């Protein structure tokens, strides 16, 4: 394995809740109205320090999307997914953007999001943007 290069961000930072690696800035948030199996999720225009998994088609609440799970580059924890292709015309704005699941990241103030036991969303996507 080669040398690991990790970017350090400055500002209001969202980071991996397991190892603290910086993932995104709050100014990169496009939407906070996304949902996943564990509850809330945020759509970001830019994330760093992640690697992508296999690209696959998934049926989500807003239709078919081609996505890849994204993982923290330091600890390997899954932190969300990246939209490669949106098949619905109205969803094209998501392409190239990433979703970070709040349950898997720490907020700028160090806060963690705790999923409720009542949260059972079938599929992962935005309710309304």
Q: Domains plus CATH for the chain?
A: 11-104 (2.170.150.20)
Extract long-range pairs of 29-33: CB within 8 Å, 24+ residues apart: 30/93, 30/97, 30/129, 31/126, 31/129, 33/126, 33/127, 33/128, 33/129
In the numeric block, which tokens belong to residue 116?
């409720």
What is the model's pLDDT at position 109? 84
What is the model's pLDDT at position 110? 78
Sorted by sequence, the CB contacts under 8 Å of residue 41 that are 6+ apart come out as: 34, 35, 80, 99, 100, 101, 102, 124
* CA distances to 24, 72, 99 from 79, in Å: 11, 7, 8
What is the model's pLDDT at position 5? 86
pTM of the model: 0.84
The segments of the chain whose pLDDT lies below 70 read 1-2, 112-129
Residue 49 DSSP one-character state: S
What is the model's pLDDT at position 38? 79
Query: What CA–CA distance (Å, rounded) separates 118 from 84?
Result: 30
Residue 120 DSSP SS3: coil
Sorted by sequence, the CB contacts under 8 Å of residue 7 that are 6+ apart come out as: 22, 48, 49
């Amino acid at each position: 394995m080669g040398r690991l290069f990790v970017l350090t961000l400055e500002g209001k930072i969202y980071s991996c809740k397991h190892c603290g690696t910086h993932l995104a800035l709050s100014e990169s948030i496009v939407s906070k109205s996304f949902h996943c199996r564990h509850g809330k999720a945020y759509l970001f225009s830019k994330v760093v320090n992640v690697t992508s998994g296999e690209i696959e088609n998934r049926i989500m609440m807003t239709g078919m999307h081609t996505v890849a799970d994204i993982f923290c580059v330091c600890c390997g924890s899954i932190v969300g997914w990246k939209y490669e292709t949106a098949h619905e015309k109205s969803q094209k704005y998501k392409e190239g953007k990433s979703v970070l699941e709040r349950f898997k990241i720490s907020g700028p103030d160090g806060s963690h999001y705790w999923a409720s036991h009542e949260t059972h969303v079938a599929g992962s996507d935005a309710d309304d943007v």
